[in-house]
Amino acid sequence: MHRANTGWQESKIAGFTITLFICLLLVPVAIAAPAPGDLVIPRVEGAEMGVDITPASIFPHWVHRARYRCDACHDDLFKMKLGETEISKALMKQELSCAVCHNGKVAFDIGLNTCNRCHRTPEE
């Protein structure tokens, strides 16, 4: 009987299996690219401010990103680059900008009783 030398074939299969396994381990890392955390939205010069000088808005990007796809907000409501899109109280009153969702129906309403949900210092 003739027995074929399969040692090289076995090592080739083992090498392929190990390579495939490593690639499969790396897939979640590639898919789960980190999203920005909290973004500080700077105040616009001349913007209306409360009596106590309302702080800048802190936008929890990761909370929104966990629930919605990027195209829910970008680029129709907001440009990708921070600071390129105007965000103002006047736009909020017209149910534009953040108020497209923050209207009391989709998400909490924007009003005097919810100011501190967004307007807060980064340490809070």
pLDDT range class, residue 71, cuts 50, 70, 90: very high
- Long-range contacts for 114-119 (Cβ within 8 Å, ≥24 apart)? 115/50, 115/54, 118/57, 118/58, 118/59, 119/54, 119/55, 119/56, 119/57, 119/58
Domain residue extents for the chain: 38-117
pLDDT tens digits along 7-39: 667 777 877 788 877 766 665 544 433 445 788
Average confidence (pLDDT) over 46-75: 81
Q: Which two tokens stand for residue 77?
A: 């409501």
pLDDT range class, residue 106, cuts 50, 70, 90: very high
The helix or strand, by DSSP H or E, that contains position 40, with its residue range, turns out to be strand 38-41
Q: Model's pTM, two decimal places?
A: 0.60
Average confidence (pLDDT) over 101-113: 91
Model confidence at 102: pLDDT above 70: yes
CATH top class, domain 38-117: alpha beta
User: What was the pLDDT predicted at 37?
Assistant: 79
Average confidence (pLDDT) over 68-73: 92
Model confidence at 120: pLDDT above 70: yes
